[in-house]
Amino acid sequence: MLNSFVVGCGGFIGAASRYLLSLLINRYNTSTFPVSTLIINILGSFLIGLLVEILAVQNPNNKKLLLFLTTGILGGFTTFSTFSLETINLYQNGNTFLAILNVVLSILFCLAGVVLGKVLARVIIS
């Protein structure tokens, strides 16, 4: 039960952060391409890679901290369900190229974000 509370608290922080960052990014995005979702997913992927590596070395037994940061904050922050909806909407609105571009960029950069986060964590730790 405590783990659910920890995840829920983190989820609130992550979801609120995602909303505020989306507002900021969308002030400058004039295209129909979902730039804010892409940026948030890349950032969240990078951060989860970074945090998992750091916590594995620095604090491997603190499962609640890991749950709070990864499942909670970053689970609430990243927007894969929104990515999926926006991609389908692009496709259904006749923007097939943008839909495919969104899938390719999201997969490539989010995977790269995790790898870079893990690499940076190893540099920081060592």
Q: Which residues are annotated as a binding site for Na(+)?
A: 75, 78
Sign of the CA dihedral with 88 first, then 90, 93, and 97 last: negative
Chain-centre distance for alpha carbon 22: 12
- Reported as half-sphere exposure (CB side, CA atoms, 13 A), residue 57 has a value of 12
- Reported as half-sphere exposure (CB side, CA atoms, 13 A), residue 43 has a value of 18
Tokens representing 7 are 């995840």
Annotated binding site: 75, 78
